[in-house]
Amino acid sequence: MSDEVMVRYEQNPILTASDLPYKAYYILNPGAVKYNGEYLLLVDVFHVEGGILFHLARSRDGYHFKFDPAPVEWPAAYDWWEENGVYDPRITQFGADYYIMYGSHNNKLGTRLGIVKTRDFAHFERVSICSEINNRNGVLFPEKIDGRYCRLERPFGGGETSPCDMWLSFSPDLVHWGEQRPVMMARPCHWDHLKLGGGAPLIRVKEGWFCLYHGVSPSCDGSIYSLFGAILDYREPWKVLARSKAPFLFPEAHYEREGRVANVVFTCNAIPEPDGTVKIYYGAADTCIGLAVGNLEDMVKACYADYRYMMNVN
């Protein structure tokens, strides 16, 4: 796989459940942001009662993290939607506000997308539960498109092994969403040929929007989750201008291949740095958190490259 595009931190995993100030079984799939001189990870935690909650971890250097003493005080949902679990947060900044789009799980009905906002990562305010049932991987664009909010999403009609594609929808207010349309389809004979979904919040590049996403391929005893890149048109983001043929990151390390769910690398974030690199904090095997670093320009180029050419295959 294309290890030159995205390189693992040599001291991975950077966080495990044993780093928490209480007993938990698994941690995974953090949202991430740089705020007030710190790197913040909003981490999914599988606690001993069986549910999932969010817990913040902090770092000054982006490599060494420490969890807060207690989990985040997450705002309640609504009378008509009982929220039994939360997971996979994507954090997008608009001005002074940080919007967190995440999976809001109801034990009886399934998952909707929810939005909560904060200005200080200490106080969180409910914005909406904002999708139909069975919609995941919501990623809010960091700019409005034609005066409206825009998001990537991944609706699905069946179970975990059902084919799913990436879609897009619009909203005037972050509450009411519509005009859904497809963006990217699963590809036969690729590592994203079963399903795919948005990963990190979009990054503006000169070519358009850089989209880091996860793709899924079935295996003999489960599924394989890997990371890919694509370029979406700046003004018409439902148009795919380029798409990587090979994964940027494939589950090859032991902590990515062995755990609660084997063979998984899954991200909800990508943090651009002043030197042109991007830090990607990812869930490994649905068990712990790893860090990979890539050069943004190289990742954009890899979206356009022919994989056979990259590998010097005639």
The tens digit of pLDDT for each residue in 1-38 reads: 444 799 999 999 999 999 999 999 999 999 999 999 99
Query: By CB neighbour count within 10 A (0-12 exposed, 13-18 middle, 19+ buried), where does 96 fall?
Result: exposed
State the Cα torsion 56-251-7-5 to the nearest 10°. Answer: -120
Query: Per the structure, how many domains does the chain have?
Result: 1
**79 domain-assigned:** yes
Residue 280 lies in a domain: yes
Inside any domain, residue 148: yes
- Asked if residue 139 is part of any domain, the answer here is yes
Q: Is 264 contained in some domain?
A: yes
Please state whether beta strands 203-205 and 6-8 pair in parallel, antiparallel, or not at all (unpaired).
unpaired
Report residue 314's pLDDT band, with 50, 70 and 90 as the boundaries.
very low
The H or E element containing residue 302 is helix 296-304
Q: Which helix (H) or strand (E) holds 309?
A: helix 307-310
Domain of residue 147 covers: 6-310
Q: Which of 45, 33, 110 is nearest to 72 (CA)?
A: 45
Residue 198 included in any domain: yes
Domain annotation covers residue 192: yes
- Between the alpha carbon of residue 120 and those of residues 28, 34, 37, 265, 301, the distances in Å are 23, 12, 12, 29, 36
Q: What is the CATH number of the domain that holds 57?
A: 2.115.10.20
Joined together, the tokens standing for residue 43 give 């981490």
Per-residue pLDDT of 95-123, as tens digits, reads 999 999 999 999 999 999 999 999 999 99
Note whether residue 1 is domain-resident: no
